[in-house]
Amino acid sequence: MTSRTPRAGIPDEAADPAAGTGWRGLQPALLPLRRLLLLATLLPAAVACALALALTVGGLWPVCAVLPLAAAAWGWGALGRNWRSWRYAERADDLLIARGVLWQELTVVPYGRMQLVEVTSGPLERRYGLATLQLHTAAARTDAEIPGLSPAEAERLRDRLTELGEARAAGL
């Protein structure tokens, strides 16, 4: 895991120096995975768009296929910014998850309120050596999720969170 200094523009006051652990980012492998998914959807879309327009209307219309390509180009950069924005920190009593570039979100889940910690890893994620950690509390709206962890880190987090959750469990 890489421990990084917070970038400008993203709140760094949230990190609690007393807790001793700083912010951690996501695995770099998540970025190529997401970019691959982006291209895998938008490139065929561009080709299909160009073909369909050339066969039906003709003329200059197939140039519209540039739109999906432009979206792919923008998405390429946006995914990078989004990947950099994801961070999480374990503090003494709670877990912080920060994400988002334009619309920023910071979720705080106290260890005592965690009811279930789940680690999932799909086929593509496994190929890239990644796992996703999901936290469940009694509130269904708490969709605290950390994608793009290394499997070892995900398991370490799961065990630690479960242990802390048991230690600080508070009833409803």
Partner 1 sequence: MPADEPLTPPHGKHGKHGKQGKHGKHDEPARTEDAATRAQHAATRAQDTTPSAQDAPARKSDEAPARHDGGGSAREDGNTPARKGGRRLLPARPEGRRLHPVTPWRRAWAPLAAVLAAVAHDVGRAREWAGHLTPGWVLLALGVLLPVAAGYGFLSWWCTSYLLTDTELRIRTGLFFRRTAHLRLDRVQAVDVSRPLLARLAGVAKLKLDVVGTESKDELAFLGEREAVALRAELLARAAGMAPEEASAAGEAPSRALLRVAPRTLVTATLLLSSAWIVPLVVAAAVTAFAVFGAQSLWAVGAGGVPLLGFAWSHGLGRVVREWDWTVAESPDGLRLDSGLLDRRHETVPPGRVQAVRLVEPLLWRRHRWVRVELRVAGTDDDESGVLIPVARREEAAAVLARVLPGVDVAAAPAAARPAPRRAGRCVPVFRRGYRHGLTDTLFVTRTGLLGRRTTLVPHAKVQSVRFAQGPWERRNRLANVTVDDGAGGHATARLRDEDEARALVTGRRR
Binding site for partner 1 (CB under 8 A): 11, 13-14, 16, 91, 93-94, 96, 102-110, 112-113, 137-142, 144, 170, 172
CB of 97 to partner 1, least distance (A): 9
Q: Is the distance from CB of 16 to CB of 95 less than 8 angstroms?
A: no
Mention every residue, 6+ apart, whose C-beta is less than 8 A from residue 28. Answer: 2
Pick the closer one to partner 1 by CB: 49 or 99: 99
Nearer to partner 1, 18 or 60 (CB): 18
Between 47 and 118, CB nearer to partner 1: 118
Residue 165 CB, shortest distance to partner 1, in Å, is 12
Q: How far is CA 126 from the centre of its chain?
A: 15
Beta carbon nearer to partner 1, 29 or 108: 108
CB of 135 to partner 1, least distance (A): 8
φ, ψ at 23 (rounded to 5°) = -75, 145
Half-sphere exposure of 136 (CA within 13 A, CB side): 7
The least distance separating partner 1 from the CB of residue 2, rounded to whole angstroms, comes to 22
Using CA atoms, how far residue 71 sits from 19, 91, 115, in Å, is: 41, 38, 40
